[in-house]
């Protein structure tokens, strides 16, 4: 049964390489986009860390900043 | 209505959605892979090589679909001046490009046992390669140009120009004599594919759509945070 699934009547190499290529492409794209996202989240967190109280107050009046910080996987302010 | 497209409003949803989409994607993908690789029957002519269809066809459909959406959004950017559309279009492009590459590579792998060649300058394959070039130019334009107005206009123009290629891809198998087979699934007429193959194909299409949605959401959030990062500099 397992041998049949692997060899697929001699077409196994083609079928498995097509599926492997697809899944590897998915993994690479997901990793690249995730790295970019985390990088930007880290940047915004670092910027918030050096802002003074007054500027933080101004920034936090915008809901989107609160959302970004709440959903930052690396930290929650 | 157009206020709904305001990034500040959407971000509350897009920032939370990826984890749920990821979970559903993994679930659907596992079911799809079992259906495609184990349960679905082999073809009486192509034997097991027909299973490549379950990754090749959804990838091709989604890459064409994404480019069509980018082109339609580009009309919105140029005519209605909705700036968030450019952010949405930009965020859709990476997954569209990867699906296009997957369609070409898996098509090439499928071509070897079926046609006896990895590549042919066939109308369908060539037009898909042209679509890949449009995707590359589109993404490169976002990287090259920095002025917001200029980049919005240039990328929109590229996407609208690329839209001409979409019906060529669709009808290439009818207009020219090609190695590539005509469409087996037609929304307007009866489908010539058996349900035992249509079900895994539909599940894999759903899985690929969820993956495209996941990447879009993550990229959209990245772009939005990038803009907000610049906003902090101006405080």
Q: How far apart are CA B183 and CA B201, in angstroms?
A: 14
Q: Classify residue B219: in a domain, yes or no.
A: yes
Q: How far apart are CA B105 and CA B100, in angstroms?
A: 9
Q: Classify residue B45: in a domain, yes or no.
A: no
Mean pLDDT of the B78-87 span: 86
B60 touches chain A (CB under 8 A): no
Q: Classify residue B152: in a domain, yes or no.
A: yes
A:B CB pairs within 8 Å: 116
Give me the residue from A18, A36, A67 closest to B12, CB to CB. Answer: A67
Distance from CA of A50 to the nearest CA of B (A): 11
Are B25 and A76 spatial neighbours (Cβ–Cβ below 8 Å)?
no
Mean pLDDT of the B7-15 span: 75
**Mind listing the pLDDT tens digit for each residue in B121-160?**
988 999 999 999 999 999 999 999 988 889 999 999 999 9
* Tally of domains within chain B: 1
Q: How far apart are CA A38 and CA B134, in angstroms?
A: 29
Quote ipTM for the complex. Answer: 0.90
Crossing angle for the helix pair B53-75 and B165-175, to the nearest 10 degrees: 140
In the three-class reduction of DSSP (H, G, I as helix; E, B as strand; rest coil), residue A10 is classed as: helix
Confidence of residue B110 (pLDDT cuts 50, 70, 90): very high
Q: Classify residue B8: in a domain, yes or no.
A: no
Q: Classify residue B13: in a domain, yes or no.
A: no
Q: Classify residue B228: in a domain, yes or no.
A: yes
Give me the residue from A8, A33, A65 closest to B48, CB to CB. Answer: A8
Mean pLDDT of the B207-231 span: 91
Q: Classify residue B1: in a domain, yes or no.
A: no
Mean pLDDT of the B16-45 span: 93
Confidence of residue B6 (pLDDT cuts 50, 70, 90): low
Residue A15 has pLDDT above 70, yes or no: yes
**Closest alpha carbon to A33 in B97, B95, B84, B207:** B95
A77 touches chain B (CB under 8 A): no
Q: How far apart are CA A11 and CA B37, in angstroms?
A: 12
More confident residue, B91 or A73: B91
Report residue B55 as tokens: 């990754």
Cα B223 to Cα A36, A42, B71, B73, distances in angstroms? 9, 14, 19, 17
Contacts of B55 in chain A (CB under 8 A): 18-19, 22
Cβ–Cβ below 8 Å for A58 and B215? no
Q: Which of A44-48, B164-168, B175-179, B203-207 has the lowest mean pLDDT?
A: B175-179
Q: Classify residue B194: in a domain, yes or no.
A: no
Q: How far apart are CA B222 and CA B175, in angstroms?
A: 42
Tell me what pLDDT residue B148 has: 84
Cα B20 to Cα A15, B27, B32, B92, distances in angstroms? 30, 11, 18, 19
Residue B105: give the domain boundaries: 20-39+50-182+205-233
**Mind listing the pLDDT tens digit for each residue in B221-234?**
999 888 887 776 66
Cβ–Cβ below 8 Å for B8 and A19? no
Contacts of B232 in chain A (CB under 8 A): 44, 47-48, 51, 55, 59
Q: How far apart are CA B92 and CA B144, in angstroms?
A: 18
Report residue B221 as tokens: 């959030």
Residue A77 has pLDDT above 50, yes or no: no
DSSP 8-state symbol, B228: H
What is the separation of C-alpha B181 from the centre of its chain, rounded to a whole number of angstroms? Answer: 21
Tell me what pLDDT residue A75 has: 38
* In chain A, residues 28-67 whose CB comes closer than 8 Å to chain B: 29-30, 32-34, 36-37, 40-41, 43-44, 47-48, 51, 55, 58-59, 62-65, 67
Mean pLDDT of the B195-212 span: 95
Three-state SS annotation for B52-83: HHHHHHHHHHHHHHHHHHHHHHHHHHHHHCCH
């Amino acid at each position: 049964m397992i041998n049949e699934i692997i060899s697929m009547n001699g077409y196994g190499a083609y079928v498995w390489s097509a599926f492997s290529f697809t899944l590897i492409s998915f993994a690479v794209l997901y990793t690249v986009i995730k790295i970019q996202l985390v990088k930007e989240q880290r940047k915004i967190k670092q910027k918030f860390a050096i802002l003074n109280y007054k500027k933080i107050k101004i920034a936090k009046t915008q809901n989107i900043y609160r959302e970004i910080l709440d959903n930052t996987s690396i930290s929650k302010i | 209505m157009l206020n709904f497209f305001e990034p500040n409003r959407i971000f509350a949803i897009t920032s939370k959605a990826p984890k749920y989409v990821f979970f559903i994607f993994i679930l659907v993908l596992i079911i799809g892979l079992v259906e495609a690789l184990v349960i679905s029957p082999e073809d009486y002519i192509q034997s097991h090589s027909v299973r490549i269809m379950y990754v090749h066809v959804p990838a091709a459909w989604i890459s064409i679909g994404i480019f069509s959406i980018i082109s339609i959004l580009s009309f919105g950017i140029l005519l209605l001046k909705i700036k968030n559309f450019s952010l949405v279009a930009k965020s859709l492009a990476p997954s569209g490009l990867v699906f296009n590459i997957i369609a070409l590579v898996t098509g090439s792998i499928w071509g070897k046992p079926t046609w006896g060649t990895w590549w042919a300058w066939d109308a369908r394959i060539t037009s898909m390669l042209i679509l890949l070039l449009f995707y590359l130019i589109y993404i490169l334009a976002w990287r090259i140009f920095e002025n917001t107005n200029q980049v919005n206009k240039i990328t929109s123009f590229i996407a609208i120009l690329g839209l001409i290629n979409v019906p060529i891809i669709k009808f290439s198998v009818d207009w020219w004599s090609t190695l590539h087979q005509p469409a087996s699934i037609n929304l307007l007429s009866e489908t010539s594919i058996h349900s035992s193959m249509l079900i895994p194909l539909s599940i894999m299409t759903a899985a690929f759509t969820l993956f495209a949605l996941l990447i879009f959401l993550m990229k959209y959030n990245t772009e939005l945070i990038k803009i907000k990062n610049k906003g902090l500099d101006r405080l």
